[in-house]
Amino acid sequence: MDEVRYDDESDDELDHEDSPTIPARDAFRRFWPLTRGLRGRLMAVWLCTVVAALAETEAILLFSDLTDHALEKGSLSAFWEPAVKWLGVAVVGALVAYAGNSLAALLTERFVMRLREHVFDHVQQLPPHFFQRHRQGDLLSRLTSDIEAIETMVVSGLVGAASAAFSALFYAAAAFWLRWDLAAATFVLAPLFWLAARRFSGSIKDVSREGRVADGAITSVVEESLGNIVLTQAYDRRDAEKRRLHEEATAWFRASVRSTRLNEAYEQLVQVIETVCVLAVIGIGAWEISTGRMTLGQLLAFAAFLGYLYPPVRGLAQLGLTVTAATAGAERLIEILDVPPAVADPRHAVDTGRPDGTVEVRDVSFTYPGTDKAALTDLSFTVSPGELVIVTGPSGAGKSTVSKLLLRFYDPDAGELLLDGVPLRDLPLSRLRAYVTLLPQETLVLHDTVRANIACGRPGASEQAIVEAAKAADAHDFIVRLPDGYDTRVDPHSARLSGGQLQRLAIARAILRDAPVLVLDEPTTGLDSMAARRVVKPLRRLMTGRTTIMITHDLNLAPDADRILVVDRGRIVETGRHDELLARGGAYARLHRSQNNAVMDTGELRLPLFAEPPAPDTYEPYAQQGQGPEQWQPYPQQPHPEQQPHPQQPWPYVYEAPYGTVATSLSDGRPLFRDEAAPWPGI
Ligand SMILES: Nc1ncnc2c1ncn2[C@@H]1O[C@H](COP(=O)(O)OP(=O)(O)OP(=O)(O)O)[C@@H](O)[C@H]1O
């Protein structure tokens, strides 16, 4: 489909206030290509409308014949022939109209389906930031009611316009054929219809646009409010939410009332114009009959033609207004269609088959579209097949951005990411995402059965493979205890499964996918420590034999990593193994300390990663080298200079792991990551 770009080219903003004004003609051209394959049937519908209009014209002429020959002369014998013809014409007209309308309905629905799929497919390719920056309710409204508006413009508009135009043409031709002078006199008044439609169209388009924006806003408020119901109830925000809805509903109410008023005013004005025309015809007709130049049958037939002629003429003008209003919907959809996908399939794709899993990130820099601060700068690292690399760092450092680039949600601005030496840009997207599996930060659940939720890792997987994946993810036991076992339906907001259980479902899905490269984004975030511990074993089974890049704050898993990358402000600031980095006593050691010492957390997190080394007398841990956690010593935490400790209330004591040792268990005795002797056999 041709891409028509409009004034606002800013790639992803859906500007509600100043929507680009697109002429109906351009909007029509934009969506016309979607009728490809339906145009033959569209022609058939037009043909039906022509035949139906001809049948009606013939029926009116037969009515004139009946009036003049049967009614005026009171002759029954003159009745039968035109009556039978009229009946025949009516039956043919009815059959053709039925066929035409049915076909038109089929066309309409097909078009709506196509358009919806086209827009939906496009939206699915849009980059993550598009969805973060736009209200879901508004997007939903665009994908539903605005799509229907476009149908009005393209298919129903065309069918309706053709039907009205043919009917008007035939009735006008018949009126001229009956009495050209009378017809000419009445047609002088026709421009009045056009003037009336012109007068109203601008206002109707404006008010339709306002209505559509308000409609999107209402859906957004309802959607956001229901999605945040716990916040609403816990903080007693009912009144605030009601106010928000009321504001949007008031905008919609105003637009809706104004739109009804405008349409009604237009309707009534047209009625008055019609009355003027009918009176003109009756007046001229009465004068013609009085002078003997016209029969009553002719006058009645003429009046009937005018009666039939006005609805299509009015319909044409009304259609203009409907199309104008629909253009407001088209604008909103075109805005979405003009947002380009962040990445596209390569023109000449390279696919060398299942890779071993060497991941290389080479001098990568990236800034999110619409921002000016780099999220990643000159990032380089390599992960060999089967290695586990942990990417850690403070919040906002750029860790999740690495995962987005590895899955190619975005391409880097500079540098390259490679899988087995092949740039990710050269791999077909579907292959790339089959080779690199993401376990995202938030647990993603389909509104479907537990089985379908696991099976979506590998569509078409056998029941046995699904169950084995569930077992490997330690999910089988809780699944079989669910009311319908694997057939239990779950949904994203289901309270049926706990966070840890959902995460194990996600792990089962990833195990089934069996990709050589895994990207785990905070696999234990949001889980309490018990739940987090329960996912460690399944995670380990998942990681066995795969290249794994784990993005995490949770450094419990760090001793197992082949390498740890500490990222801060988009750059790698430290690299090494857990013990080396601890011994170095730099950024990683501080992160590790802040995590493992709950009491110290708040104070430590406020320390910048690159603070000057503190004075030895205040910061040096009391730890004694070479001792296990049970012997770790408390040391006093540094108070803020402005806050003096209360004489009776000492500053909290925290526990510090001695640098240069490799911890084998946590300070509370919990085992660290390596707590399972034999690796889990791959599935
Ligand atoms: N969609 C986005 N649009 C614009 N900027 C973004 C977007 N997502 C992230 N950023 C910015 O990019 C930087 C890196 O973000 P990223 O999510 O990668 O950090 P992170 O290290 O994963 O943080 P966290 O640990 O809190 O998840 C941050 O400054 C963030 O504000």
Residues 62-90 have pLDDT tens digits of 887 787 777 767 777 778 888 888 899 88
Q: Is the ipTM of this complex over 0.85?
A: yes
Q: What is the pLDDT of residue 492?
A: 66
d(CA 384, CA 382): 6
Ligand 1: residue whose CA is nearest its atom 23: 396
Distance from the alpha carbon of residue 395 to the mean position of ligand 1, in angstroms: 8
Pocket test for ligand 1, best of 126, 132, 367, 371 (most atoms within 8 A of CB): 371
How confident is residue 417, by pLDDT bands cut at 50, 70 and 90?
very high
Q: What is the pLDDT of residue 380?
A: 92
Residue 650 is classified by DSSP as: P
Distance from the alpha carbon of residue 425 to the mean position of ligand 1, in angstroms: 22
pLDDT digits (tens, 9 = 90+) for 264-289: 888 888 888 878 877 877 888 888 88
Ligand 1: residue whose CA is nearest its atom 29: 396
Ligand 1: residue whose CA is nearest its atom 17: 400
Other Cβ atoms less than 10 A from the Cβ of 16: the count is: 16
Ligand 1: residue whose CA is nearest its atom 18: 398
How confident is residue 591, by pLDDT bands cut at 50, 70 and 90?
confident
Q: Is the pLDDT of residue 548 over 50?
A: yes
Kindly give the number of the ligand 1 atom that is closest to the alpha carbon of 570: 14
Q: What is the pLDDT of residue 596?
A: 65
Average pLDDT, the chain: 76
Q: DSSP states of 535-589 as a string?
A: HHHHHHHHHTTSEEEEE-S-GGGGGG-SEEEEEETTEEEEEE-HHHHHHHTSHHH
d(CA 625, CA 585): 13
Cα Rg of the chain, angstroms = 37
Distance from the alpha carbon of residue 396 to the mean position of ligand 1, in angstroms: 5
Ligand 1: residue whose CA is nearest its atom 1: 129
Q: What is the pLDDT of residue 526?
A: 66
Mean pLDDT of 633-646: 41
Distance from the alpha carbon of residue 400 to the mean position of ligand 1, in angstroms: 7
The predicted model scores a pTM of 0.64
Q: What are phi and psi of 359, to 5 degrees?
A: -110, 130
Strand 436-439 and strand 517-521: the pairing is: parallel
**Which has more pLDDT, 465 or 617?**
465
Kindly give the number of the ligand 1 atom that is closest to the alpha carbon of 373: 29
Distance from the alpha carbon of residue 414 to the mean position of ligand 1, in angstroms: 18
Q: Is the pLDDT of residue 484 over 70?
A: yes
How confident is residue 331, by pLDDT bands cut at 50, 70 and 90?
confident
Q: What is the pLDDT of residue 367?
A: 93
Distance from the alpha carbon of residue 143 to the mean position of ligand 1, in angstroms: 28
Distance from the alpha carbon of residue 657 to the mean position of ligand 1, in angstroms: 30
**Token duo for residue 244:** 């928000």
pLDDT digits (tens, 9 = 90+) for 40-70: 888 898 888 888 888 888 887 788 778 777 7
d(CA 562, CA 581): 12
Q: What is the pLDDT of residue 612?
A: 38
Contact by Cβ (8 Å): 653, 637: yes
Distance from the alpha carbon of residue 370 to the mean position of ligand 1, in angstroms: 13
- Say which residues have a Cβ less than 8 Å from residue 544's Cβ, sequence separation at least 6: 679, 680, 682
Q: Is the pLDDT of residue 661 over 70?
A: no
Ligand 1: residue whose CA is nearest its atom 16: 398
Q: What is the pLDDT of residue 680?
A: 34
156-169 as b/e: b if 16+ CB within 10 A: bbbbbbbbbbbbbe
| Percent share of the chain, pLDDT over 70 | 82
Distance from the alpha carbon of residue 662 to the mean position of ligand 1, in angstroms: 31
d(CA 16, CA 331): 11
Q: What is the pLDDT of residue 50?
A: 84
pLDDT digits (tens, 9 = 90+) for 103-137: 988 888 888 888 888 888 888 888 877 887 777 77
Mean pLDDT of 352-369: 89
Q: What is the pLDDT of residue 656?
A: 38
Ligand 1: residue whose CA is nearest its atom 6: 368
Contact by Cβ (8 Å): 581, 588: yes
What are 490's strand-pairing partners? 448
d(CA 601, CA 577): 23
Q: DSSP states of 145-205 as a string?
A: HHHHHHHIIIIIHHHHHHHHHHHHHHHHHHHHHH-HHHHHHHHTTTHHHHHHHHHHHHHHH
Listed ranges 139-148, 189-198, 348-357, 539-548; the one with the highest mean pLDDT: 539-548
Q: Is the pLDDT of residue 621 over 70?
A: no
pLDDT digits (tens, 9 = 90+) for 216-249: 788 888 877 877 777 777 777 778 888 888 888 8
Ligand 1: residue whose CA is nearest its atom 14: 398
| Percent share of the chain, pLDDT over 90 | 9
Token pair 């047209």 is found at 270
Pocket test for ligand 1, best of 129, 368, 555 (most atoms within 8 A of CB): 368
Ligand 1: residue whose CA is nearest its atom 9: 401
Distance from the alpha carbon of residue 13 to the mean position of ligand 1, in angstroms: 19
What are 549's strand-pairing partners? 389, 519
Q: Domain coordinates of the chain in residue numbers?
A: 24-337
238-265 as b/e: b if 16+ CB within 10 A: eeebeebeeebbebbeebbebbeebbee
Q: Is the pLDDT of residue 642 over 50?
A: no
Q: Is the pLDDT of residue 669 over 70?
A: no
The domain 24-337 having CATH identifier 1.20.1560.10: the answer here is: yes
Pocket test for ligand 1, best of 372, 399, 605 (most atoms within 8 A of CB): 399
Q: Is the pLDDT of residue 336 over 70?
A: yes
Q: Is the pLDDT of residue 513 over 60?
A: yes
What is the number of residues in the chain? 683
Ligand 1: residue whose CA is nearest its atom 2: 129
Distance from the alpha carbon of residue 376 to the mean position of ligand 1, in angstroms: 10
Other Cβ atoms less than 10 A from the Cβ of 596: the count is: 21
Distance from the alpha carbon of residue 559 to the mean position of ligand 1, in angstroms: 26
d(CA 665, CA 673): 9
Distance from the alpha carbon of residue 131 to the mean position of ligand 1, in angstroms: 14
**Which has more pLDDT, 623 or 287?**
287
pLDDT digits (tens, 9 = 90+) for 162-219: 778 887 888 788 778 877 777 777 777 777 777 877 777 778 778 877 887 888 788 8
d(CA 136, CA 219): 8
Contact by Cβ (8 Å): 406, 359: yes
**Residues at CB less than 6 angstroms from ligand 1:** 128-129, 132, 368, 371, 375, 393, 395-401
Ligand 1: residue whose CA is nearest its atom 31: 396
Q: What is the pLDDT of residue 563?
A: 92
Q: What is the pLDDT of residue 76?
A: 72
Contact by Cβ (8 Å): 477, 422: no
Pocket test for ligand 1, best of 391, 395, 400 (most atoms within 8 A of CB): 400
Kindly give the number of the ligand 1 atom that is closest to the alpha carbon of 129: 1
Of 260-274, 468-482, 525-539, give the lowest mean pLDDT range: 525-539
Distance from the alpha carbon of residue 573 to the mean position of ligand 1, in angstroms: 17
Mean pLDDT of 301-327: 75
Q: Is the pLDDT of residue 361 over 90?
A: yes
